[in-house]
Structure 1
Amino acid sequence: MRHTVARPGMHELVVRKSRFLGCVEPVADRAQAQARVAELRALHPTANHVCWALPAGGDSAAVDDGEPGGTAGRPMLNVLRQQQLDGVLATVVRWFGGVKLGAGGLVRAYTEAVAGALQQTEKIPLQRWQPLACTLPYALEGVLRRELERAGARALAASHAAQVRLRFELPEDQAAAVVERLDEISQGQLLWHET
């Protein structure tokens, strides 16, 4: 089972005069991760490197940001993957202290910065959401809204025309059962749409 983190976690360490500030935080996608990295660059203009890693299915990334290839982003990504995390951005801001650490030293420092940040938060199961949409008669709107609320639906939106069109998201592992229950309640009066 894939996991995410409940909240951001941070960890700072100093290795031979170089300062490493590690952070892990949940992100929705690669675009949000890149925006967060840009924020960190602006927040820490004197930093030499802002390396980052993101396990996100086909949108994963491991960025060394000027460090020798494979010494920052890849080790950070490996820590996240070993913890079975998905949708979690790991960043390490580094200020160079004047002493070269070598490839092995860099790998250890970046790995430790991310592992330490993970210890400052907790892992939680990753909930995937399935978007759904249906059209229904006005008479059923209240009943369906109550049923969706009980099922933990989110992002509920409605548009009203000749009939009501509801758009919502359900936890992926519960969607089929909820759809079946809604069909029973409506006695076949729901028209499902592709989302």
Structure 2
Amino acid sequence: MPGPSGNRARGTSQPWLFAAVLFAVVVALAAGLLTRGWYVLPTRVTTPISPSQPSPSKNGAAPGSPVVSMSTDAAAHPDGARVRDALQTYFNSINEGSYTDWLRAVTTDRAEDKTRAQWKQEYRSTKDGSITVYRIERAGPGSLRVLLSFTSAQNPRDAPADFPYQCIRWRVVYPFALERGEWKLDSGQAGASPQHDQC
């Protein structure tokens, strides 16, 4: 059985030992976090920039990639793939100057709004890119609203009369309608008031 002096010695050494071990653990954790920051490559962020933020690139590579990309939310929508395909056809038609392909991407009502000559005049110098779909919502039976952004580059004389710039970043809500079993861009109020700013 230890004497009183033995108990006292053990009692005084225990807090010191605990503090030393705690200090060693904290130092090891801090060193581990620092080395992790040095040696682990940063992961690529796949979430697109929100529509309210400007694109990181200015003018240089405008209008950007012509491939339609989707946010995680939009891609998870049951009609996400079909909406993306319709938009890809739509933007390809503008970039390639194909009125025939444009007709395949839009509803009959929307097609009636523009003759071939009007369409060719309106999009004669336009190239679209940096296309990102952020959200797809049901708007009623057989109709959707699609929130997206894109960048257009054009001769300023072919830009909107009240916004004659060579590079424009657009944030729009496009109406879609189901026509003969396919989602197509429709005409209507949803796409009538786009937001835009100069690149």
TM range (shorter): under 0.3
TM-score (norm 2): 0.27
TM-score (norm 1): 0.27
Would you tell me which structure has more strand in proportion to its own residues?
1
Would you tell me which structure has more helix in proportion to its own residues?
2
Higher relative contact order (CA closer than 8 Å, sequence separation 6+): 1
